[in-house]
Structure 1
Amino acid sequence: MRKFASWARRGLLAISPLALFAAMAASAAPGDRAMLPAVREAMQRDLGLTSEQLTQYVQAERLALREEKALAKAQGERFAGSWLERKGNGQYQLVVATTSITPQRAPAGAEIRSVRHSLDRLEASKGEIDTLLAHGAKSPEGVYGWFVDVRNNSVTVNVAPGAEAAAIGFIAATGADADTIRFQRMESAPMPLATLQGGSEYLSNDGSNYYYCSVGFAVTRNGAKGFATAGHCGNAGDRAFVAVNRRTVSQIGAFAASNFPGSDRAWVQVDNNHTLLPVVDGYSGSDIPVYGSTEAPIGASVCRSGRTTGLHCGVIEAKNVTVQYPDASVNGLTQVKVCAEGGDSGGAFITGAGQGQGVLSGGNYSCKGKQAKLATSYFQPLNALLQGYGLTLSTSP
């Protein structure tokens, strides 16, 4: 046991172990299971949906999972991305973008939309920016990140107010295709969320300081068990703890591997006397079983579970996002319109159908008051994390 008197002085809440994610399930389609009441409640609250609209969204999500790959393949090199889109009447549809101008028939619940730039062209343009950073360049202050924005058929660059001129000069120097670039104002900078004060599901220790983060997914590797989390929560070899009470912590394991910056992924190997459950904490309701890790499309709704703020839901806005944190750049993140706070880092993202998506990396704003509606968060995709470390998810039956 280790004394942790400073924790009591900070007034943090006691920690209860976070329920964890599960692995890919081959026996059932990702959208076939009933959505738990806690998830329905959170989605309706955070996305402003009626019960009828949420039911229709689930139907659209199933259509996307069933049809989007075939529709993309049919477009070939003309394919420009796909996403779920909420229409003015509150209904959802699958949109498949193409550079073809020939009218095409889409299945019911989907639309094929003509755009200017192919996905290959957009990704090549973003790649020019990423390559410059990989060769040692640094983005200017106020440039917060960039991503292929299929919904706007562009490479969107997030820029602080007043930093537009610096952003234009930076992008021009990268050699990125100017026709594809779109600048978007972001009022608050994204930050890694581990070092901010707040209640946390577990604590990491680098030998001198404790940091607060949330557990993501239950995993195994060659018989060893543990959990996936964010890389900025700890370095390989750092120890992990849970709280016994408000003044005492107990070690549960150590970081077996960690990567940050570049990516933001880690896994903690846990001692055998601890139990890891293949579920996610629903906070306001029942724990949420995870049945797999099928990747949700852009426009899909996902929910984030973390110790500081509980369960909150939002919409996937972009994938393969490059985020510029203070003094650190991270590639390959997924951007979600949802709030998060310190201590939520490493926590789990899940769909309403129980498919694990990733672990929280960072964000801006908080979940308090009007700030929650402005907030953007980023997660490290789950499948890339598992593949990077040779991990297997634990699954719910």
Structure 2
Amino acid sequence: MSLSQSARRACRRSLFLALASAASLVSGAAFAADSIDPRLQLAMQRDLGISAKQLPQYLKTQSLSLRQGASAKRALGSNFAGSWIERKADGSFGFVVATSGTGKAARSLGGVEVRSVRHSLGQLENAFAALESQVRSRVAGVSKPLGGVHSWRIDPVTNSVVVSLAPGATEDGVDFVALSGADAGAVRFETDEGTPQLLANVIGGDQYLWEVTEGYYPCSVGFSVTKGETKGFVTAGHCGQVGRVVLTGDVEALVPLGTFTAVNHPGTDMAWVTVNPEHTLLGQVKDYADGLLSVKGSVEAPVGAALCRSGRTTGYKCGTIRAKNVSVRVGFDRYTGMTETNVCTGRGDSGGAWLTADGQAQGVTSTGLVPFGADDNCVVAESTRKTWFQPLNPILSKYGLTLLTQ
């Protein structure tokens, strides 16, 4: 289950993926670098190690990926093996399309690098589906425990299904794959630092509290939403229970903010809170630098795009999307459909907002790999840091909500 030489080269070249999800998704045209909020530019430079001079080039690459990605998938058909944005050795950015065939049908697409790999996306999806099926068919008290198996995902960059494990849990991973019947040649193992932990501890990213036996449980607001005339906000499902009152303000002077109206977790990690009529909703996200960022829509960003998250514990942090449709084990629970990132986060950030450079809302913070004894994963190296969020659009669809934009 080791990487091929070409896959290893691809992994090295893609250690730093693309940086900004910054194209006009309505018109399809790229927008100027100076149209990005300067505070967001500074946050991206701080967390991603980029320069202002690189901005126009990766914006151009991002726009190209949105135009050519679907075309490449149609052209390659069953040989399509995924696409991503990656940083090259010279610091520039490029859009890569992988194929399990010759790739001839896609080589005429302008600005696209076509790379040949072993497995098609369909083959990787079949291996992923086998792992999912094995988990769904497990019987409590009868099936062998998954032990140190943390998560599994499709990774087009390495052309594999990646199974993430606790240190020393290789045997658990081997058993997991073997029992599933998945193609072992399509699977790669990686070792995590820490274990997935729920980060529980009305502007996006702001704090709210709900009462539990031992006191108050803090989480973060996702995005303001409406359902008809009803006001509310979305957040993580593990942050509350239906009917629980949500509070805002200091513990010494708490004010009722609303009530958990719907909660779905585990499996997914979504919830929405009905906000009391006297409160005002804003279609903005807190940047924890005395500023607010406008929410423009909820167009889903691709793998490799940059985005930032806002939360009450670690503030405003940025990074990139590593993978989508990731399945993650948290204790005895399993979460599916998660998006994996390298963004730093901590306990209490749960439910907080994720936003791209052009103001597209992406999701709410769910869980992250946190070192034992730590309250956040900000001390973990970016290359091994993992934080997952629940995508936003499935929340809006499930509950029939409308995102409030600015």
Q: How does 1:39-50 map to 2 (within 5 A)?
A: 39-50=40-51
Given that 1:44 and 1:54 are in contact with CA atoms closer than 8 Å, whether structure 2 keeps it comes out as no
Is 2:129 the partner of 1:119?
A: no
**1:87 aligned residue:** 88
What fraction of aligned residue pairs are identical, expressed as a percent?
43
**2:397 aligned residue:** 387
Query: SS where residue 60 of structure 2 aligns?
Result: helix
**1:325 aligned residue:** 330
Is 2:151 the partner of 1:141?
A: no
What stretches of structure 1 move > 6 A for 4+ residues in a row? none
Residue identity in the other structure for 2:277 = N
**1:75 aligned residue:** 76
Cα deviation code 1:324-366 (max 9, x no counterpart): 1112110000000111001100001111111111100010232
Given that 1:192 and 1:362 are in contact with CA atoms closer than 8 Å, whether structure 2 keeps it comes out as yes
Q: Distance in 2 between matches of 1:81 and 1:205?
A: 45
Matching residue within 277, 281, 290 for 2:295: 290
Residue identity in the other structure for 1:395 = T
Matching residue within 150, 154, 175 for 1:169: 175
Given that 1:225 and 1:270 are in contact with CA atoms closer than 8 Å, whether structure 2 keeps it comes out as yes
1:239–1:380 Cα change, 3 Å: same
**1:268 aligned residue:** 273
Q: How does 1:248-263 map to 2 (within 5 A)?
A: 248-263=253-268
TM-score calculated relative to the size of structure 1: 0.88
> What is the CA distance between 1:370 and its match in structure 2?
5.2
1:285–1:373 Cα change, 3 Å: farther
Q: Distance in 1 between matches of 2:377 and 2:162?
A: 25
Q: How many residues align?
A: 368
RMSD: 2.1
**1:194 aligned residue:** 200
Q: Distance in 2 between matches of 1:219 and 1:31?
A: 28
1:246–1:238 Cα change, 3 Å: closer
Given that 1:93 and 1:110 are in contact with CA atoms closer than 8 Å, whether structure 2 keeps it comes out as yes
TM-score calculated relative to the size of structure 2: 0.86
**1:9 aligned residue:** none
Query: SS where residue 74 of structure 2 aligns?
Result: helix
**2:31 aligned residue:** 32
Given that 1:206 and 1:234 are in contact with CA atoms closer than 8 Å, whether structure 2 keeps it comes out as no
Query: SS where residue 63 of structure 1 aligns?
Result: helix
Residue identity in the other structure for 1:85 = E
Cα deviation code 1:206-231 (max 9, x no counterpart): 57642111001111112211001000
By relative contact order (CA 8 Å, sep 6+), the higher-ranking structure is 1
1:51–1:285 Cα change, 3 Å: farther
Query: SS where residue 379 of structure 1 aligns?
Result: strand
1:180–1:351 Cα change, 3 Å: same
**1:358 aligned residue:** 363
Cα deviation code 1:186-215 (max 9, x no counterpart): 1211111004xxx96001235764211100
Q: Distance in 2 between matches of 1:251 and 1:30?
A: 44
User: Mind listing any 5+ residue stretches in structure 1 that lack a counterpart?
Assistant: 1-24
**1:55 aligned residue:** 56
User: Mind listing any 5+ residue stretches in structure 2 that lack a counterpart?
Assistant: 1-23, 371-375
